[in-house]
Structure 1
């Protein structure tokens, strides 16, 4: 996610970090060069390169704008739902850390050990969820928290965040069976675990259910057709300004299309994706502080204006 102050007017046109331009620059250059050939051919060989009415392109451009707007709104809703889910995880983890204080208050040193065991799992789960949503990452942040006897179980699980939630529920069930918790206390703690467990399910639904491919294909094709054919409708009016106008239009339509692609997958490692790794680190910092630790990992900070 891009984290920076709003730039001034002049820097606004030269910012590349977080811009969609590097991704769509080849398409823009192709449209620009093609428009130059069309303009040159229209002036040098008017019988070969004809101009056409701009009315159909005005209608097509309006329809394409509506399609792109609808698609980008749908993609942003996915992005925002994912951010709300991670916000719920932050809230539930902090609530759980406060609720487990009753173990220390009731059972002293034994309760302190039970609380630490639960909190270690609560720290590991968000880190495991990051690796679940961004495969082929580093599991070191999870392994350094988990006890040695749980690491083989972690690596053997197909859904590692869910496995950690099951371990938390198992610990709570054992505490209840051993009369370490009353019914009310158990239900309170289990409700917080349930709130945390909802988040991986929501994130999996978002990741595994993309927008309908046929709709995405329709928008892609229409954007390319419009940008390829538009110079034929403006060459009579704009002359040698046609390539520049075509490049600006290509930047707008291809840029909106590419931005929608990035927002559609909010858990990717693109610059405009959600900073889920930073959120997991923030949760770990909060929970370790709640355990009374002083040697805390640093809070995440953006690098080159990007927070991942």
Structure 2
């Protein structure tokens, strides 16, 4: 039962229509192509804002920097000073967001290593039954899939049924933290194996240590998922960026004249894009184009464990034609 889904098609591996994609993987490094990249860039998210900023620039140019007939007394000096302060604040916000992304990446890297070690250690134990061994290894594979679905608020039923069977999946259905429930069952299976003489005290200690590490990695992912960057930072940055961009054309119109709308849009693109990137990577587990490819990592873990067990290996998840890796 637990091995029946090995070669089955996983419906969550391919996204159809407007379903969100995930990490962009590009091999091209050509400088000219990068200038016109659309898919994977945040430009698609801020086009409406840039159009609005261009319209504001046109208004500033047509009115010679006046609002309701009154000249707006702005020049480039205060914008230079404000721009420096805004750049520092944007850098702080992006660093905070990237720290979360980097930590999520390291946590899933540790999960990859720990699951391999756990499978290898279990295979070094004496067999007390082929079904028991396969179930233990399938639970190892099920752990990253369950964690992925929990972090993305998606349904884990299909993956768990294929890996663990319908009966065990039903037992997990009502549990909120399915990854920890799977680790708990792995630990109980380990102690049962030890009681039957299939694992020595040293092997039990080593395997239990890997289970504890997986529990720590899961807790780290939950911490990132459940504690977003304080909302006040996002609001302050959002208001400051938009206020700066809206006033910018009125400060430039006397200096650069007809080029005001174009230069305003260019500067606005930089600031708005940085804000959009910071928001995008603040949740590294989301299914956007800059999120971590959790499905691909989970499939890699499955391939590694099944290869160690001498089973058929499912195909890896590769980037699609749009360079999207889920």
Contact 1:131 1:139 in 2 (8 A): no
Q: Deviations 1:113-147 (Å, cap 9, x if unpaired)? A: 43222101001111111111111345312210103
Aligned counterparts of 2:292 and 2:216: Cα–Cα separation in 1: 18
Structure 1 range deviating more: 34-43 or 117-126: 34-43
Which residue of the other structure, out of 252, 257, 263, is the alignment partner of 1:245? 263
Aligned counterparts of 2:103 and 2:65: Cα–Cα separation in 1: 52
Structure 1 range deviating more: 17-26 or 53-62: 53-62
Which residue is 2:64 aligned to?
42
Which residue is 2:42 aligned to?
20
1:148 matches 2:170: no
Aligned counterparts of 2:67 and 2:93: Cα–Cα separation in 1: 40
Structure 1 moving runs of 4+ over 6 Å: 43-46
* Mapping of residues 77-226 of structure 1, within 5 Å: 77-103=99-125, 106-107=126-127, 110-137=128-155, 139-226=157-244
1:290 matches 2:312: no
Equivalent residue pairs, number: 303
Contact 1:31 1:227 in 2 (8 A): yes
Contact 1:39 1:240 in 2 (8 A): yes
SS at match of 1:145: helix
| Offset at residue 13 of structure 1 (A) | 2.2
Q: Deviations 1:38-67 (Å, cap 9, x if unpaired)? A: 111118999534442221111111111000
SS at match of 2:63: helix
Aligned counterparts of 2:156 and 2:122: Cα–Cα separation in 1: 29
Contact 2:40 2:289 in 1 (8 A): yes
Aligned counterparts of 1:278 and 1:255: Cα–Cα separation in 2: 27
SS at match of 2:163: coil
Q: TM-score normalised to the size of structure 2?
A: 0.89
How large is the RMSD of aligned CA atoms in angstroms? 1.8
Q: TM-score normalised to the size of structure 1?
A: 0.94
Contact 1:42 1:48 in 2 (8 A): no
Contact 2:65 2:72 in 1 (8 A): no
Higher helix share: 1
* Mapping of residues 289-308 of structure 1, within 5 Å: 289-294=307-312, 296-303=313-320, 304-308=322-326
Aligned counterparts of 1:50 and 1:128: Cα–Cα separation in 2: 57
Which residue is 2:89 aligned to?
67
| Offset at residue 288 of structure 1 (A) | 1.2
Runs of 5+ unmatched residues, structure 1: none
Aligned counterparts of 1:147 and 1:9: Cα–Cα separation in 2: 50
